[in-house]
Structure 1
Amino acid sequence: MENEEEAALSSSPNPLDVDPTLQKKHQSMLDRLTNRHQTRLGSSLTRRSAESDSSSSPSFESTSTFLSRFSNSKSSIESQLAQCRFGLSESTQVKPQLDQISSSISDLEKLVAENAYFLPSYEVRSSLKTISDLRQSLEILSSELLPKKKFAFKNKPTRKDPIFESKEQEEEKKPEKPGFRVPESPGFWNKKGEILVHKFKGSELGEFTIADLDSCEVRLTGSVRALFVHRLRNCTVYTGPVTGSVLIDGVERCVFIMASHQIRIHNAKRSDFYLRVRSRPIIEDSCGVRFAPYCLSYQGIEDELREASLDGETKNWSNVDDFLWLRAVQSPNWSILPEDERVGLVDISNSEES
């Protein structure tokens, strides 16, 4: 019908040469054709817009951007490791450069934690494996370049305690698992039945370790970049914001109240975790662990949490990922701590550093 109208228009005389009736009919044809053309044009633009929207997923763009940033950072860290290994730096610069590499790895961990909410699960796992490998490479390099600084329990008899001797003998018989070696850093070591208090100052933003404690209470206030927890029994640990990662290994019958961008728990038994965390907590080789929301208070903590981007509740404390549980149903190794068994708000404002 439309073609017939267009043909009629092309063969029709000039509207100025016809009578008013034909001129009116001619104008009506023009109006109909114009309306149809506009309708077709509008539909085409709408269809193209929809196709464009569906082909550019925000999550895809975010994942692509993350992978690019992660890859660039990984390459930079590997380059720094190679530079140290092959002696391209002066010997006096080795220790500061190793510290810088450690800081870069922690920044990479923070990048994963901040983006884990939209990343596919396999990308998170792959990224964490890469970070673990980088940290292990750094530890091996540190032991090669700074052998006198290497930490090992069996080489420091002054730090031994009878309550840990049998445990150490058991551990020495087992092959060491990568990614959970205790780094040499400031901290609390080899204590029993003590209250241990430390406040991180503004300039103190590095790593902190608590290791080989029995029946102790640890109170850490202020912000720190990374926290390492190793071989604790019957302990309670309170911490303010950790801007990078918390790595926990070998704990039993403990209570932890922690805020961090990322928390990884290995070989934990019958312990409770009150967490505020930006990414999903990760457990491995653990059983009987229970989780609840963060409940710590002390003077200035709200400002510290806000500066560390941990002021908002993420609900991730209940979104635990068991790396050794591959079934679709929830892992039996962890559970939500019943409300009637939870501690209330814990206020450590009156803590004084010993």
Structure 2
Amino acid sequence: MDEENGDSFRAVKDRLRKREEKRQKEQEKRRLEKEETKVETEKVSYFQQAFSEQAQEIEDKLQELSSGKINKSLLPTYFYELGSDLAAMEQFIAASTFYVRHYDVRKSTEMIQDFEKRLRELQDKLLPKKKFAFKGIATKKKKAAGEKIEDAVDGVVISESPSKSKVLDYADMGIGHWNRIGEVLTLTQGEVCKESVELTDLQDCTVKVTGTPSTLHMVSLKNCKVLSGPVATSIFVDGCVDCTFVVACQQLRVHSTSRCDLYVHVTSRTIIEDCHDLRFSPYNLKYDDLDKHFEVAGLDPNKNNWTMVEDFNWILADHPSPNWRAMKDCEKIDLG
């Protein structure tokens, strides 16, 4: 009887120990989640404050330009510096897409576009004869009087995107491809190194980037393949359908995208939002100088968190998101 009582006592004690261990684990989990939320909140607050301060500086400079009090001989330098400031703000937004809400990114981008429009209007007013010589040999196509002039260098458009207003007269805001159908497009290290690259409104295209962009934005792509070398900071994908992306970066954010395959090398994590039917697999691109480009981009080739995908539309931590999955071996293809 005493032995039975002893067994019962040990069983109760064991249950209490396990219950306490579980309670402590749950408490630690809540603490870590709270700390992570605090860090994310602090990052968002920093973005809002820093962006607000930078925007106010731009506004003050635009007001100073509008006043007409700046010596005309100083205007080219003044315009160039303002264009550079706007380019830096755009880079700041791109680097912050990892943790800032899509709404805030969109509103900030709209503000930048408004600044760029005002800067262009002031340019036309204060320096009407000022012309900018693009690097390389540019071909200008004038369709008709009053129509837009399109500039291209070796097939790479360096003028306005249909969805973005760029101040390219005074600062190189990036390169890329826009409005293409059924083409094979390339960008080399000499063109993209440390630059912001944009791919917008492409359909049935294959794009190969053998270099190290600073950022990569892909918007409104349909049935396209994008094969990119290591990107130094962030990649942002928005509104893409039936595409294949082979990309490497620090941060990857995918928004409003469906039925896409992503072969990724990401050193932090991937965030998806308003997405469906995404499949992930490890980065498998191969080309000459790839190892060197990983070094130039500052990415660790041995650290790949391709399975760390956070779905902003899925709140059940103990159940996997239905909006993405790891690719099966039989589904993978070699695109290198």
TM interval, shorter chain, is 0.5 to 0.7
Equivalent of residue 139 in structure 1, options 65, 85, 110:
110
1:253 aligns to 2:242 (yes or no): yes
Match of 2:326 in 1: 336
Q: Is the 8 A contact 1:105 1:135 kept in 2?
A: no
Deviations 1:73-107 (A, max 9, x none): 76444322111113366552321211122234445
| Corresponding letter in the other structure for 1:128 | V
Equivalent of residue 313 in structure 2, options 305, 324, 333:
324
| Shift of residue 312, structure 1, vs aligned partner | 2.8
Equivalent of residue 84 in structure 1, options 32, 38, 58:
58
Could you say if the C-alpha distance between residues 271 and 200 of structure 1 is closer, same or farther in structure 2, counting changes exceeding 3 Å? Answer: same
Matched residue of 1:223: which SS?
A: coil
| Shift of residue 307, structure 1, vs aligned partner | 2.9
Q: Among the aligned pairs, what percent are the same residue? A: 28
Answer 1 or 2: which has greater helix percent. Answer: 1
| Shift of residue 298, structure 1, vs aligned partner | 0.9
Equivalent of residue 98 in structure 1, options 79, 86, 103:
86
| Shift of residue 301, structure 1, vs aligned partner | 0.8
**Normalising by the residue count of structure 1, what TM-score does the alignment of the two structures yield?**
0.60
| Corresponding letter in the other structure for 1:193 | G
**Normalising by the residue count of structure 2, what TM-score does the alignment of the two structures yield?**
0.63
Could you say if the C-alpha distance between residues 189 and 300 of structure 1 is closer, same or farther in structure 2, counting changes exceeding 3 Å? Answer: same
Deviations 1:277-297 (A, max 9, x none): 122211122111100000001
Give matches, 1:285-324, under 5 Å: 285-324=274-313
| Residues in 2 aligned to 1:310 and 1:62: alpha-carbon distance in whole angstroms | 24
| Residues in 2 aligned to 1:252 and 1:58: alpha-carbon distance in whole angstroms | 36
Give matches, 1:226-265, under 5 Å: 226-265=215-254
| Residues in 1 aligned to 2:280 and 2:221: alpha-carbon distance in whole angstroms | 18
Give matches, 1:13-32, under 5 Å: none
Q: Is the 8 A contact 1:277 1:317 kept in 2?
A: yes
Matched residue of 1:86: which SS?
A: helix
Aligned length: 248
Match of 1:34 in 2: none
Match of 1:194 in 2: 183
Match of 2:20 in 1: none
| Structural RMSD (CA) | 3.6
* Higher-Rg member (1/2): 1
| Shift of residue 313, structure 1, vs aligned partner | 3.8
Q: Is the 8 A contact 2:113 2:165 kept in 1?
A: no
Deviations 1:169-217 (A, max 9, x none): xxxxxxxxxxxx7574421111111100011328842211111111111
Deviations 1:252-281 (A, max 9, x none): 111110001111111222110000012221
| Residues in 2 aligned to 1:252 and 1:198: alpha-carbon distance in whole angstroms | 22
Match of 2:208 in 1: 219
| Corresponding letter in the other structure for 1:235 | C
Q: Is the 8 A contact 1:288 1:333 kept in 2?
A: yes
